[in-house]
Structure 1
Amino acid sequence: MRTDSDDARSIGLENTVFEGSNTVYLLGADGTGPLTLVDAGFDTPDIRDQLAAGMEAAGHAVADVDQILLTHYHGDHAGLAGWVQSESGAEIRIHELDAPVAAPDEAAYRDLRERQEAAFEAWGMPEPKREAVRVVLDEETDLATGSPSIEPIADGETVRAGPHELTAIHLPGHTAGHVGYHAADVGVLWSGDALLPRYTPNVGGADVRLDGALAAYLESLERIVATAPESAWPGHRDRIDDPVGRAREIIEHHRERTRRVIRVLRERGPANAWAVSHELFGELEDIHILHGPGEASAHLEHLTDRGLVERDGDGTYALASPTDDLNLEGLFPAV
């Protein structure tokens, strides 16, 4: 399947909060089945106009949309869904683990923010950095519309989208409820942020609700390899022509990052997640204030769960053994 075909169109949308523009997908543009958006983008007047223009180029109006399939709850993917629903009456589908914060349910959103604050404390994040990232998180919330009506979609559930029968594949890691949508008839996976062409999706900071975020994400990458799509259409930037190879690259990236975390603990001694993050990424600004220590914490948690690192009560990590060569066998998929 090409980037644009008779039945499927890609629509690029601005993203002024995170690096890289968003890409959403319109399936069924030729009238062969339910007109479906995969993801929706942030909700700003400019992005509404961009989406409407992209749909017009495909011969449709926003009011024509039958359903919206969301890969996950983040505002740059789900924020505009409520507006599209209000214009069209479209059904919105998202995994049940992400549905409460995509809606958003007030209690679920409050719980998310409380978990973020607890993570800031556990990571050892300085207060000025906490305040800076709160501003970014508040801005993301402001770029979502209303309280859309959402119908959860389950792992393995199939849904018609244009001419394709899509299977929802639960791919947690970046968020607890992240899903991809696989069209076996054409070998395409709409991968959201589970698989990106240039960056590695953040794990640990992007959704602090998820315990064992790195382990979950590695299993998701294994699942992508097992699914073996011919191409993947991500939520940012361009088509991935070798998604299996890209998944393997990301597994190797995390293997090397784990080695770096071990080196940090060996060279500087016991450290919290914020200190390890500083060694890995340096000074952080904007959303990276959340993502950096979150990623460090996910790797430290992965090592702790497997007995290679020990954590004390105040969030300080230390190597469990002073030996030079720590055995990483079993920490990463052999795919």
Structure 2
Amino acid sequence: MKRIQLGNTVFEGENDVYLLDGETTALVDTGVALPGVREELVGGLADYGLSFADVDAVVLTHWHPDHAGLAGEVQAEGDADVYVHEADAGLVDGTETPLFTDRDLQHETFERWGMPAADQKRLINFFDAVSVDLSGRPADVTTFADGDVIEAGGVALEALHLPGHTAGLSGFAFDPRTVPEHNPVAGADATEEAFTGDALLPKYTPNVGGADVRVDGALAAYAESLARIVARDFDAAHPGHRRQIDEPSRRAATILDHHRHRTRRVIEVLGESGSATAWEVSAALFGSLEDIHVLHGPGEAFSHLDHLAEAGVVEPDGTAYRLVDSDPDVDALFPTTPLDDVVDGSDNA
């Protein structure tokens, strides 16, 4: 297994693409469809004597352009099979329109969040500047569901549906001892590692709510995904950005605890203000935002408000929310894990 790192100036840091070149050749994710990134992927494959035409399969963790953007181009040159979870398939094969280019969805979403007109325009201008061809060429896709096993690059990949960041985000569990040129992190006893895409990152917490506005109950879905990662107790995780994660369960539990802390902070904001929109809560949490974060900030705030509304802690008041329970049991709003007493997500970003 080889990691190819690709530039990413639009989203959160360098992307990781994983090359599996056993009995067949496969990629886990592809990078964004920008010319410079395409050339980086071409060069990364060339370092191992390969080209797009040599790729037999592309396995996608999710639909976001920085992960799936080049899938169609890789497929066009070698007829590779492109695998994606059924919930994200339409945004890879081109039958669905992403928020980046859907004006009606933009208006509906931004109004629901209470985003001022000037900031809506600012965000739409950002989309227009970066999203031309960002999603790349549509691909013919083969869909999978949770629990399906995909044979790719000579490795059996078990699909783990981990929604929250996107509707179809999936990880892939595998036995590291079956992967050519890969040394299991825990030595000969290591039996299970996973590609986690953006479900689990080593530094930032993946955005929930703004990253895919199609997800109902995004925070609840993501919390359950994190609890599932903790329960699987992988020996290592290979994320969509940055470095390998050597303690995936601990990292997942830390992010879960981070969302408990953030939920308490949202309750404090509402207690101080009386009522607030997602946009106003975002400003209290994150301050002034630029570029893609103008989407992610209020989206994250909305996911927490929506989670609290579902639990009866807050209730909608137009586009705003007001507190009806000032002292809820926040821990009860999230799944528990065996690591809850040994992690602290208060300073996670």
Which bracket does the TM-score occupy, shorter chain normalised?
A: over 0.9
2:107 is aligned to: 117
Identify which of 174, 194, 201 aligns with 1:196: 201
CA distance in structure 1 between the aligned counterparts of 2:280 and 2:62, rounded to whole angstroms: 30
Q: Which amino acid aligns with 2:105?
A: R
Say if 1:250 and 1:309 are closer, same or farther in 2 by CA, change over 3 A.
same
Q: Deviations over 1:70-97 (max 9, x none)?
A: 1111110111111111111111110111
Secondary structure of residue in 2 paired with 1:200: coil
Equivalent runs, 1:282-321 vs 2, <5 Å:
282-312=287-317, 314-321=318-325
Aligned counterparts of 1:108 and 1:196: Cα–Cα separation in 2: 23
Calculate percent identity across the aligned residue pairs: 50
Assess if the C-alpha contact under 8 Å between 1:166 and 1:183 holds in 2: yes
1:23 aligns with 2:36: no
Are 1:13 and 2:3 an aligned pair? Answer: no
Match of 2:145 in 1: 154
Name the counterpart of 1:181.
172
- Which amino acid letter does the alignment assign opposite residue 125 of structure 2? V
Residues 107 and 40 of structure 1: is their aligned pair in 2 closer, same or farther, counting only changes over 3 Å?
closer
Given that residues 315 and 321 in structure 2 are in contact (C-alpha distance below 8 angstroms), is that contact kept between their aligned partners in structure 1?
Answer: yes
State the 1:310 CA deviation: 1.1
How do 1:1-335 and structure 2 match up within 5 A? Answer: 8-28=1-21, 32-106=22-96, 114-138=104-128, 139-186=130-177, 187-312=192-317, 314-321=318-325, 323=326, 325-335=327-337
Q: Give the TM-score normalised by structure 2.
A: 0.88
Cα distance in 2 for residues equivalent to 1:165 and 1:225 = 21
Deviation per CA, 1:91-139: give whole Å up to 9, x if none: 1110111110122215677996533321100111011211222233342
Displacement of 1:63 in angstroms is: 1.1
Contact 2:69–2:137 (Cα < 8 Å) also in 1: no
Query: For residues 146-181 of structure 1, what are the alpha-carbon distances to aligned partners after superposition, in whole Å with 9 as ceiling and x for unaligned?
Result: 221111111111011223211011000000010111
1:2-57 deviation per Cα after TM superposition (whole angstroms, max 9, x unaligned): xxxxxx100010111113111110012xxx22211000111122112111111111
RMSD over equivalenced CA pairs, Å: 1.7
Change (3 A) 1:263 1:110: closer
Q: Contact 1:71 / 1:178 at 8 angstroms: preserved in 2?
A: yes
TM-score (norm 1): 0.92
Task: Report the residue type matching 1:102 in the other structure.
Answer: V
SS at match of 1:36: strand
Is the deviation greater in 45-54 or in 258-267? 45-54
Q: Could you list the runs of 5+ residues in structure 1 that have no partner in the other structure? A: 1-7
Measured in 2, the distance between the counterparts of 1:106 and 1:318 equals 34
Q: Report SS of the residue matched to 2:160.
A: strand
